[in-house]
A and B are shown apart, each in its own frame.
Chain A
């Protein structure tokens, strides 16, 4: 049987690549670090493939490998989104009123 599925997959891959190029080119250079942690988190989608292997009970080896894969992917999903949000929270605008910002800053530096 000729694998037509692979050709379809290739379509998706190439077109998503172009889309990615367009979207990522517009990301502000300010945010390149959170961009990386965000794509890390998103690529934790390998979790969905790992879940099936860990839970389908094919054989002991597959289940063990699947379990490790689920763990590793979950680290990426959870850790990736958490740190992205942590970084993004730090990006603040000076805002309209400089005086107001000074007050806010005083509050924040008090926290630390």
Chain B
């Protein structure tokens, strides 16, 4: 009877989780939604603490306290630029938990499990272990502890695929001989190793996809843990989490015009050998001074800012918003055009701008903003490069050909705020800089914005 009661608790939690996620369809309802999800979580935890098998609360309480002591500061004090790392780290913690519980299950029951259960545990532990090390690698790359560029070698894909085949082979072998601890622990070791090898060839530019993909794996791991323990709430949340990560991966891939296989096996973030400065010699660029830029901005009626990760790197988002404030006080309409892969994880740029007190109704995604550019007086590109490169539309040979871009060149004037003419992340020259309606405003983004504000106020 008590078991049924617990299941009812879980059902209620599942409903609250779904309602919580639904709240995220609009910023207005989002926080309320999260309170529902938190209530659901509390309910599930309290319900589980009443589980009949628990005889000793010592280690449970210790774990809860230690987890809170680590988790809370991590969430409260990290800067918003580090949210992608934290997210990756969090995937790895979840996966670690799942992996360890799976190992514990096998350790406890061993051969008594029978082939089906052992197969389930095998898959669960494999997913958990590879997601654990893979997410740690991703976090390390994002934090800059591991160098961001892709590490590739000959036969990499074949090597990785054979590890995968090896793990699956061991799981099948375990189903025939459930008592083979050697097979089980070799599989665990291989899975830890595989997670590392999987992320090595992926470059920093592809991190938005990778994080979303690892999110999906973490969800699947959670669901597999639910299968293993026959726990419905974990299956439901794992499935929700998994589909969320899956949808985000697809959206990110679409934003870069790449397929998931291409991200995983393509090693894109590597700098292409296209000669930099291909166009530089042929066409002149037009430069402008701070005063000229201020003059143009001050006399315009509508402006779209296009921020890229370069802006976040130099922490210029507050300064951009100050420029926008002065312009708005002069009656200029200000919008922000956000490319889906402008940040280091899905939606990251929106968060960085929201932190700088940019109201969310001024943030437009690519499809929305592209229809506004023809009627926009000035598009100001700050620290973005590839996402505004017209070569994506025109040049078949370009590595970014087909990637949807923000069509800034359709605005009357484009001001590009950039440190130098160096090509961006993907190492591709940008013909936008040589257009007749483009003005280059060279300098550090933050510095330039401060000077612009001063010039506009003068």
Interface residues of A (CB under 8 A from B): 3, 5-6, 9, 12-14, 16-17, 19-21, 23-59, 61-63, 65-95, 98, 101-102, 105, 108-109
Contacts and interface: CB of A to CB of B under 8 A. Distances in A.
A59 B110 CA distance: 14
A44 B41 contact: yes
B363 interface: yes
Contacts of B247: 21, 24-25
Q: Which of B17, B103, B231, B340 has its CB near the most chain A CB atoms (within 10 A)? A: B17
27 contacts: A3-B116, A23-B21, A28-B26, A30-B363, A35-B21, A35-B346, A36-B212, A36-B345, A36-B347, A40-B241, A42-B20, A43-B238, A49-B231, A53-B104, A55-B51, A66-B104, A67-B59, A67-B62, A75-B70, A76-B90, A83-B75, A83-B76, A87-B83, A87-B351, A91-B360, A92-B360, A101-B359
B62 to A, nearest CB: 7
Please report whether the interface of chain B is mostly helix, strand, loop or mixed according to DSSP.
helix
B248 interface: yes
A26 to B, nearest CB: 5
A23 B101 contact: no
Contact of A3 (B40, B117, B225, B328): B117
Contacts of A17: 239-240, 242-243
Nearest to A101: B359
A71 B47 CA distance: 18
B214 to A, nearest CB: 10
Contacts of B21: 20, 23-24, 27, 35, 38-39, 42
B44 A48 contact: yes
Contact of B107 (A26, A42, A61): A61
A49 B128 CA distance: 14
B37 A41 contact: yes
B45 interface: yes
B223 A13 contact: yes
B365 interface: yes
A62 B240 contact: no
Given A30-B350, A65-B104, A105-B357, A23 B18 contact: yes
A72 B99 CA distance: 11
A39 B246 CA distance: 12
A71 B96 CA distance: 10
Nearest to B90: A40
Nearest to A106: B325
Contacts of A16: 14, 235-236, 239-240
Given A53-B104, A57-B55, A43 B37 contact: no
B71 A78 contact: yes
A14 B243 CA distance: 10
Interface string B330-361: 00000000001001011110110011010111
B57 interface: yes
B129 interface: no
Contacts of B93: 72-73, 75-76
A62 B57 CA distance: 14
Contact of B59 (A21, A66, A84, A95): A66
Contact of B222 (A43, A54, A77, A101): A43
Interface stretch (B28-36, B141-149, B298-306): B28-36
A75 B54 contact: no
Contact of A55 (B59, B75, B80, B117): B59
Interface in B72-110: 72, 74-76, 78, 80, 83, 86-87, 90-91, 93-94, 96-98, 100-101, 103-104, 107-108
Nearest to B30: A88
B244 A39 contact: yes
Contact of A92 (B40, B223, B359): B359
Given A35-B244, A38-B24, A40-B91, A81 B101 contact: no
B64 interface: yes
Contacts of A32: 248, 251, 345-347, 350
Contacts of A68: 63, 96-97, 100
Contacts of A56: 53-56
B242 A78 contact: no
Contacts of A87: 80, 83, 351, 354
A90 to B, nearest CB: 4
Contacts of B248: 32, 35-36
A46 B245 CA distance: 17
B67 A73 contact: yes
B28 to A, nearest CB: 7
Contact of A85 (B31, B63, B64, B238): B31
A51 B27 contact: no
B245 A39 contact: yes
Contacts of B74: 75, 79, 83
Given A38-B34, A87-B83, A93-B27, A65 B227 contact: no
Nearest to B363: A30
Contacts of A101: 359
B71 to A, nearest CB: 3
A89 B447 CA distance: 28
A84 B71 CA distance: 13
Contacts of A72: 67, 93-94, 96-97, 100
